[in-house]
Amino acid sequence: MSERFAAVEGRRMVSRTSAEELGALTHLVADVGQRKVTSLVMGKGRKAVLIDWDQVSGFGPDAVMIADESALHEPRDDHESEAADGKLELVGKRVLSDMGEDLGEVTDVVFDPASGALETVVIGEQEVPATSLLGAGSYAVVVKAPG
What are 27-44's pLDDT values in tens digits? 999 999 999 999 999 988
What homologous superfamily is domain 94-143 in, according to CATH? Answer: PRC-barrel domain (2.30.30.240)
For the chain, the structural domain boundaries read: 3-84, 94-143
Separation CA 89–CA 143 (nearest Å): 16
Specify the 3-state DSSP secondary structure of 43: coil
Separation CA 113–CA 141 (nearest Å): 22
The residues near 128 (Cβ < 8 Å, ≥ 6 apart) are 120, 121, 122, 143, 146
Domains 3-84 and 94-143 share a fold: yes
Q: What would the pLDDT profile of 42-96 be if each residue is shown by its tens digit? A: 988 788 999 999 999 998 889 999 988 999 999 998 888 888 888 888 999 999 9
Class of domain 3-84: mainly beta
